[in-house]
Chain A
Amino acid sequence: MKTLLRPAISLFVLLSLVTGVLYPFLVTGVARIAFPAAAGGSLIIKDGQPIGSALIGQNFSDPKYFWGRPSATAPQPYNAAASSGSNQGPLNPALADAVKGRVEALHAADPGNQRPIPIDLVTASASGLDPHISPAAADYQAERVARARHLETKAVRQLVAANTEGRDLGVFGEARVHVLRLNLALDALAP
Chain B
Amino acid sequence: MNNHAWLLLGLFMAALLLLVRPLGIYIARVMMMENHATLVSRFEVAVFRACGFQRDEDMGWLKYALALLLFNALGLLAVYSLQRLQLWLPLNPQGMVNVSPDSAFNTAVSFVTNTNWQGYGGESTMGYLVQMLGLTVQNFLSAATGIAVAIALIRGFARHSNAGIGNAWADLFRATTWILLPLSLVFALFLASQGVIQNLDAYQELTTLEVTKYDNPRLDTDGQPLKDDKGNAVTEPATTPTQTLPMGPVASQEAIKMLGTNGGGFFNANSSHPFENPTPLVNFLQMLSIFLIPGALCIAFGCIVGDERQGWTLLAAMALLFVTFAIAAIGFEQEGNPLLAQVGVGETTSVSTTALTDGNMEGKETRFGIADSALFATITTAASCGAVNSMHDSFTPLGGAVPLVMIQLGEVVFGGVGSGLYGMLIFAVLAVFIAGLMIGRTPEYLGKKIESHEMKMTSIAILATPLLVLVGTAIAVMTEAGRAGIANPGAHGFAEILYALSSAANNNGSAFAGLSVNTPFYNGLLATAMWFGRFAVIVPVLAMAGSLAAKKRIFVTAGTLPTHGPLFVTLLIGVVLLVGLLNYVPALALGPLIEHLVLWSAH
Chain A contact residues, CB within 8 Å of chain B = 1, 4-12, 14-16, 18-21, 23-24, 26-28, 30-32, 34-35, 38-43, 49-62, 65, 69, 75-93, 95-96, 99-100, 103, 115-120, 122-140, 167-169, 171-176, 180, 183-184, 187
Q: Across the interface, which residues of B come within 8 angstroms of A91, CB to CB? A: 339, 397, 488-490, 492, 595, 598-599, 602
B14 vs chain A, min Cβ distance (A): 12
Please determine whether B51 and A51 come into contact, CB atoms closer than 8 angstroms.
Answer: no
Q: Across the interface, which residues of B come within 8 angstroms of A31, CB to CB? A: 189, 192-193, 198-199, 251
Q: Across the interface, which residues of A come within 8 angstroms of B215, CB to CB? A: 75
B238 vs chain A, min Cβ distance (A): 7
Taking A35-B193, A87-B512 as contacts, is the C-beta distance between A118 and B210 under 8 angstroms? no
Query: Which of B24-32, B157-165, B345-353, B532-540 lines the interface with chain A?
Result: B345-353
Contact of A89 among B192, B251, B394 (CB under 8 A): B394
A91 vs chain B, min Cβ distance (A): 5
Residue of B nearest to A122 (CB): B345
Please determine whether B363 and A60 come into contact, CB atoms closer than 8 angstroms.
Answer: no
Please determine whether A61 and B281 come into contact, CB atoms closer than 8 angstroms.
Answer: no
Contact of A171 among B4, B47, B252, B360 (CB under 8 A): B4
Scoring B133, B198, B396, B492 by chain A CB atoms within 10 A of each residue's CB, the highest score goes to B198
Contact of A27 among B185, B244, B350, B595 (CB under 8 A): B185
Q: Across the interface, which residues of A come within 8 angstroms of B196, CB to CB? A: 38-39
Bound complex: CA of A72 vs CA of B514, how far in Å?
12
Bound complex: CA of A87 vs CA of B269, how far in Å?
11
- The reply to whether the CB of B574 lies closer than 8 angstroms to some CB of chain A is no
Please determine whether B203 and A81 come into contact, CB atoms closer than 8 angstroms.
Answer: yes
Please determine whether B275 and A16 come into contact, CB atoms closer than 8 angstroms.
Answer: no
List CB contacts (< 8 Å) of B364-393 with chain A: 364-369, 372-373, 388-391, 393
Please determine whether A99 and B253 come into contact, CB atoms closer than 8 angstroms.
Answer: no
A62 vs chain B, min Cβ distance (A): 6
- The reply to whether the CB of B409 lies closer than 8 angstroms to some CB of chain A is no
* Chain B at the A interface: SS class: mixed
Query: Which of B97-105, B176-184, B321-329, B577-585 lines the interface with chain A?
Result: B176-184
Please determine whether A174 and B51 come into contact, CB atoms closer than 8 angstroms.
Answer: no
Please determine whether A119 and B340 come into contact, CB atoms closer than 8 angstroms.
Answer: yes
Q: Which 8 pairs of residues, A with B, have the shortest CB-CB distance?
A: A173-B280, A126-B272, A87-B514, A174-B369, A116-B346, A83-B269, A172-B280, A85-B391
Bound complex: CA of A55 vs CA of B284, how far in Å?
17
Bound complex: CA of A111 vs CA of B376, how far in Å?
39
B532 vs chain A, min Cβ distance (A): 21
Bound complex: CA of A50 vs CA of B195, how far in Å?
16
Q: Across the interface, which residues of A come within 8 angstroms of B336, CB to CB? A: 119
Query: Which of B66-74, B417-425, B468-476, B542-550 lines the interface with chain A?
Result: B66-74
Contact of B141 among A5, A15, A130 (CB under 8 A): A15
Q: Across the interface, which residues of B come within 8 angstroms of A128, CB to CB? A: 269
Taking A15-B141, A55-B278 as contacts, is the C-beta distance between A75 and B273 under 8 angstroms? no
Scoring A40, A79, A169 by chain B CB atoms within 10 A of each residue's CB, the highest score goes to A40
Q: Across the interface, which residues of A come within 8 angstroms of B249, CB to CB? A: 24, 27-28
B174 vs chain A, min Cβ distance (A): 11
Taking A24-B253, A31-B189, A139-B350 as contacts, is the C-beta distance between A61 and B213 under 8 angstroms? yes
A83-B273, A89-B514, A132-B366 known; 8 new pairs, CB 8 Å cut-off, are A21-B132, A30-B189, A40-B197, A79-B244, A90-B492, A90-B599, A139-B348, A172-B279
Please determine whether A76 and B269 come into contact, CB atoms closer than 8 angstroms.
Answer: no
Please determine whether B136 and A99 come into contact, CB atoms closer than 8 angstroms.
Answer: no
Q: Across the interface, which residues of A come within 8 angstroms of B514, CB to CB? A: 87-89
Chain B contact residues, CB within 8 Å of chain A = 4, 7-8, 11, 47, 50-53, 63, 66-67, 70-71, 74-75, 78, 121, 123-124, 132-134, 136-137, 139-141, 144, 169, 172-173, 176-177, 180-181, 184-185, 188-189, 192-201, 203-204, 206-210, 212-217, 238, 240, 243-247, 249, 251-253, 256, 267-269, 272-275, 278-281, 283-284, 336-337, 339-340, 343-354, 356-369, 372-373, 388-391, 393-397, 487-490, 492, 495, 512-514, 595, 598-599, 602
Please determine whether B52 and A53 come into contact, CB atoms closer than 8 angstroms.
Answer: no
Scoring A9, A16, A34, A52 by chain B CB atoms within 10 A of each residue's CB, the highest score goes to A16
Please determine whether A88 and B488 come into contact, CB atoms closer than 8 angstroms.
Answer: yes
Bound complex: CA of A174 vs CA of B188, how far in Å?
24
Q: Across the interface, which residues of A come within 8 angstroms of B364, CB to CB? A: 123, 125-126
Bound complex: CA of A121 vs CA of B238, how far in Å?
24
Please determine whether B337 and A174 come into contact, CB atoms closer than 8 angstroms.
Answer: no
Q: Across the interface, which residues of B come within 8 angstroms of A183, CB to CB? A: 209
B346 vs chain A, min Cβ distance (A): 4
Q: Across the interface, which residues of A come within 8 angstroms of B512, CB to CB? A: 87, 89
Residue of A nearest to B369 (CB): A174
Please determine whether A127 and B352 come into contact, CB atoms closer than 8 angstroms.
Answer: no
Q: Across the interface, which residues of A come within 8 angstroms of B368, CB to CB? A: 173-174
Bound complex: CA of A134 vs CA of B134, how far in Å?
39
Q: Across the interface, which residues of B come within 8 angstroms of A60, CB to CB? A: 209-210
Residue of B nearest to A157 (CB): B351
Scoring A6, A57, A86, A173 by chain B CB atoms within 10 A of each residue's CB, the highest score goes to A173
Bound complex: CA of A117 vs CA of B340, how far in Å?
11
Residue of A nearest to B167 (CB): A7
Bound complex: CA of A176 vs CA of B51, how far in Å?
53
Bound complex: CA of A8 vs CA of B63, how far in Å?
12
A-B contact pairs, 27 of them (CB 8 A): A5-B70, A18-B177, A23-B252, A24-B253, A27-B192, A40-B197, A50-B204, A50-B206, A52-B209, A53-B245, A65-B210, A75-B216, A75-B217, A81-B124, A83-B121, A84-B121, A85-B393, A87-B487, A91-B489, A92-B488, A99-B343, A116-B348, A125-B272, A127-B267, A139-B352, A171-B7, A173-B368
